[in-house]
Amino acid sequence: MSEIIGIGLLGLGNVGSGLVELISTNREHIQDRADVNFKILHAVVKDLNKVRQSNGIELSTTPDKLLAEDDVKIVVELLGGVDPAFEWVSKSLKSGKHVVTANKSLIAEYGDELLKIAADNNVRLLYEASVGGGIPLIRTIQDGLIANEIESVTGIVNGTTNYILTKMEEENLGYAEALKLAQAAGFAEPDPTLDVNGADVAQKLSILCRLAFSTHYDSTKIPCQGVDILTQDDISVAEEFGYRIKMIAHAEILNGGHDLWVEPALIPSDHPLANVRNENNALLVYGNAVGELMFYGKGAGRLPTASAVLSDVIEIAIASPLHTDMVERKRIGISELRSSNFYVRLPILDKPGVIGKITTVLGEHQISISHASAAIRKNGDSGFGQVRIITHAVDPAKLNLALKEIKGFPEMSGEPVALRILEVNGDRRN
Judged by the rule CB under 6 A, the positions of this chain that interact with ligand HSE are: 133, 158-160, 187-189, 195, 200, 299-300
- Least separation in angstroms between residue 328's CB and ligand HSE is 27
Give SS3 for 210. helix
Q: Is 97 a catalytic residue?
A: no
Q: What single string gives the DSSP state of each residue in 375-398?
A: EEEEETTEEEEEEEEEESSB-HHH
Q: Which helix (H) or strand (E) holds 166?
A: helix 159-170
What is d(CA 109, CA 144) in angstroms, rounded to the nearest whole number?
Answer: 25
Query: What is the residue type of 118?
Result: A
- Choice between 196 and 424, CB closer to ligand HSE: 196
Tell me if 259 sits within 8 A of 252, measured CB to CB: yes
- Choice between 177 and 364, CB closer to ligand HSE: 177
Tell me if 416 sits within 8 A of 384, measured CB to CB: no
Tell me if 343 sits within 8 A of 394, measured CB to CB: no
- Least separation in angstroms between residue 212's CB and ligand HSE is 18
Q: Residues for the chain: how many in total? A: 430
- Choice between 107 and 399, CB closer to ligand HSE: 107
- Choice between 301 and 385, CB closer to ligand HSE: 301
Q: Both ends of the chain: CA-CA distance in Å?
A: 52
Distances (CA, A) of 46 to 17, 31, 55, 413: 14, 32, 17, 47
- Least separation in angstroms between residue 201's CB and ligand HSE is 8
- Least separation in angstroms between residue 109's CB and ligand HSE is 15
Residue nearest to ligand HSE according to CB distances in the complex: 160
Task: Output phi, psi for 102, to 5 deg.
Answer: -105, 10
What is d(CA 28, CA 24) in angstroms, rounded to the nearest whole number?
Answer: 9
- Least separation in angstroms between residue 189's CB and ligand HSE is 4
- Choice between 80 and 287, CB closer to ligand HSE: 80
Catalytic residue from among 91, 204, 246, 298: 204
- Choice between 198 and 287, CB closer to ligand HSE: 198
What is d(CA 174, CA 109) in angstroms, rounded to the nearest whole number?
Answer: 33
- Least separation in angstroms between residue 279's CB and ligand HSE is 7
What is d(CA 74, CA 100) in angstroms, rounded to the nearest whole number?
Answer: 7
Longest dimension (CA), the chain: 83
Residues designated as active site: 204
